[in-house]
């Protein structure tokens, strides 16, 4: 089967949906998503969107906080562009019906602002503690009502199609993708001259993550296989506080709780963050996650605790209903006892290298949202800057793509051969897939997490090389399935993370290594490519 559209968007989070809604004003949009439209990292975001809206705040302060969290590696021009365009994008979200919480102030209704680590001001717009779901639902409803957007749910992107792969002599560019229609068991060719990756991050590369199951690094893996530049993948952000409970599948305890005065306690009930940073519990995430890791290793405890007992039950129920109820369902009443928490993989700060307009190094391919490395986050993302980046980049990319690849002047025609599955058989050894999947996630957790060493990275690289060979053998010899595609992406992304981490011979932001404890004087982005 063959499908053709002016724009092809892969991923249905804030970036993908916002882009699709804007692109639909210019032409037809195919929206590919692995599960249902609402299944994305965005929908799981609790905290909110960082944006300057308060009178006592300023763009300069937000820029300063972002640069400070990014530990010397943010691109200041990009930070400036994204921060200053925030208010316009927030207004668009409100126009789509997103209901940010409001409060009474001097008899007036004003937007209610939360605070999170690394922010010098209250500037997080939120919708209780399910902000991402509110945004995702409203954008999805608008996109589903848009006649120019066609949704392809349960479709797994397999690979980007480029003119060089097709053996064409023209300048290399992306001309579409192959995708597996999981329900029909059929591979479809999606042809487009404007392909946008909005596939989110890669939390599932790690054993413990706050991310949904869909976060398997598909965009970075596909772009890397197609030869695009990938930047700063060593910077994987670990969220300091994920619920520690055998039955809670890495449930996030939002940083917004610390913004409301939550205090981290060690196993003996003592606060410890003052020993690590003067901003204590509201220090940037890399510092807090490392402090927790150190405390757990020092005391041999399996978790630390977040104390919210200074707030009444009714406050917690009203401000954090989802978190309060989920803890309660696991037997923890946050109003009367501290919440057991541990760090877990949360956000990919690097990704497919792009300009501030989302253009990648491969013509015809754009990347927006978590999958992209624009230069906003540097070595560590400031909390709640990601939804902001997704909305701003969607807008900028939609303008840039239409100007640089005009619809009325389509590039040279290409003929894409249909997918060949040859004489591939059904996967008969599913156990091998599941075993490899577990092995990758365990080895990344043990060897490539919060604190690293040269030796552990070297071991990880060797093991991943073997795993890569096995997975690729499966890929070529058996009929593809969704699990096999995700496994192939996981192993490729894990290897890119390790390669990037080995290239950075210093400790900066989220990349902390015992062998190179100092910072380099003139830090650079880590850029890797396949070829």
Residues that bind ligand SIN (CB under 6 A): 46-47, 254-256, 347, 383-384, 386
285 is catalytic: yes
Per residue in 375-385, is it b (16+ CB within 10 Å) or e — as a string? bbbbbbbbbbb
Helix axes 59-69, 76-95, angle to 10 degrees: 120
Nearer to ligand SIN by Cβ, of 44 and 224: the residue is 44
Q: Which residues contact 21 (CB under 8 A, 6 or more apart)?
A: 96, 139, 142, 143, 146, 149
Nearer to ligand SIN by Cβ, of 219 and 259: the residue is 259
H helix runs in 169-233, sequence order: 218-225
Query: At closest approach, how far in Å is the CB of 88 from ligand SIN?
Result: 20
Query: At closest approach, how far in Å is the CB of 390 from ligand SIN?
Result: 11
Query: At closest approach, how far in Å is the CB of 51 from ligand SIN?
Result: 13
Nearer to ligand SIN by Cβ, of 344 and 383: the residue is 383
Find out whether 425 and 484 touch, Cβ atoms under 8 Å. Answer: no
Residue nearest to ligand SIN (CB): 47
Catalytic residue among 123, 285, 502, 508: 285
> In a 3-state reduction of DSSP, which class is residue 365?
strand
Query: At closest approach, how far in Å is the CB of 39 from ligand SIN?
Result: 18
CA 484 – CA 480 distance, rounded (Å): 6
Find out whether 50 and 56 touch, Cβ atoms under 8 Å. Answer: no
Nearer to ligand SIN by Cβ, of 32 and 292: the residue is 292
H or E element at residue 449: none
Q: What DSSP string describes 395-419?
A: HHHHHHHHHHS-TTS------PPPP
Query: At closest approach, how far in Å is the CB of 259 from ligand SIN?
Result: 9
Query: At closest approach, how far in Å is the CB of 240 from ligand SIN?
Result: 9
Nearer to ligand SIN by Cβ, of 179 and 257: the residue is 257
Nearer to ligand SIN by Cβ, of 195 and 283: the residue is 283
How many other CB atoms are there within 10 angstroms of residue 408's CB atom?
A: 4
CA 189 – CA 176 distance, rounded (Å): 7
Active site residues: 285
């Amino acid at each position: 089967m063959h499908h053709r559209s002016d724009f092809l968007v892969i991923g249905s989070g804030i970036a993908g949906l916002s882009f699709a809604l804007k692109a639909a004003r210019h032409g037809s949009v195919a929206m590919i998503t692995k599960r249902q439209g609402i299944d994305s990292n965005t929908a799981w975001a609790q905290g909110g969107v960082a944006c300057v809206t308060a009178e006592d705040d300023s763009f300069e302060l937000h820029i300063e906080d972002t640069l400070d969290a990014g530990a010397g590696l943010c691109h200041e021009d990009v930070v400036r562009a994204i921060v200053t365009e925030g208010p316009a994008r927030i207004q668009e979200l409100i126009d789509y019906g997103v209901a940010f919480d409001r409060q009474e102030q001097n008899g007036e209704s004003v937007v209610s602002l939360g605070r999170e680590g690394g922010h010098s001001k209250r500037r997080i717009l939120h919708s209780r503690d399910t902000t991402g779901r509110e945004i995702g639902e409203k954008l999805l409803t608008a996109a589903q009502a848009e006649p120019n957007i066609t949704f392809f749910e349960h479709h797994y992107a397999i690979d980007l199609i480029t003119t060089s792969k097709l053996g064409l002599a023209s300048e290399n560019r992306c001309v579409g993708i192959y995708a597996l229609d999981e329900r029909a068991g059929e591979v479809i060719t999606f042809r487009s001259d404007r392909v946008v990756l909005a596939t989110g991050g890669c939390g599932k590369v790690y054993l413990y993550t706050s991310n949904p199951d869909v976060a398997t690094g598909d965009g970075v893996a596909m772009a890397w296989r197609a030869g695009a530049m990938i930047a700063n993948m060593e910077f994987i952000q670990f969220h300091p506080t994920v619920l520690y409970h055998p039955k809670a599948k890495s449930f996030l305890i939002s940083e917004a709780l610390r913004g409301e005065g939550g205090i981290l306690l060690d196993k003996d009930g003592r606060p410890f963050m003052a020993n690590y940073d003067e901003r204590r519990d509201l220090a940037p995430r890399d510092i807090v996650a490392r402090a927790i890791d150190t405390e757990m290793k020092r005391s041999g405890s399996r978790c630390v605790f977040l104390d919210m007992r200074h707030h009444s039950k009714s406050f917690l129920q009203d401000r954090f209903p989802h978190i309060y109820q989920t803890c309660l369902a696991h037997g923890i009443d946050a109003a009367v006892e501290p919440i057991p928490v541990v760090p877990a993989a949360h956000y990919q700060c690097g990704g497919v290298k792009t300009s501030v307009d989302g253009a990648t190094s491969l013509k015809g391919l754009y990347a927006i949202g978590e999958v992209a490395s624009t230069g906003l986050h540097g070595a560590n993302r400031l909390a709640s800057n990601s939804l902001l980046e997704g909305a701003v980049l969607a807008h900028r990319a939609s303008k840039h793509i239409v100007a640089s690849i005009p619809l009325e002047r389509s590039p040279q025609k290409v003929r894409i051969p249909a997918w060949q599955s040859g004489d591939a058989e059904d996967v008969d050894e599913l156990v091998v897939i599941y075993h490899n999947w577990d092995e990758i996630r365990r080895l990344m957790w043990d060897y490539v997490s919060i604190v690293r060493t040269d030796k552990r990275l070297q071991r990880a690289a060797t093991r991943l090389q073997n795993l890569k060979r096995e997975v690729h053998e499966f890929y070529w010899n058996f009929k593809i399935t969704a699990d096999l595609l995700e496994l192939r992406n996981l192993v490729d992304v894990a290897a890119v993370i390790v390669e990037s981490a080995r290239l950075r011979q210093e400790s900066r932001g989220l990349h902390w290594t015992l062998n190179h404890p100092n910072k380099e004087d003139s830090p650079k982005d880590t850029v890797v490519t396949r070829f």
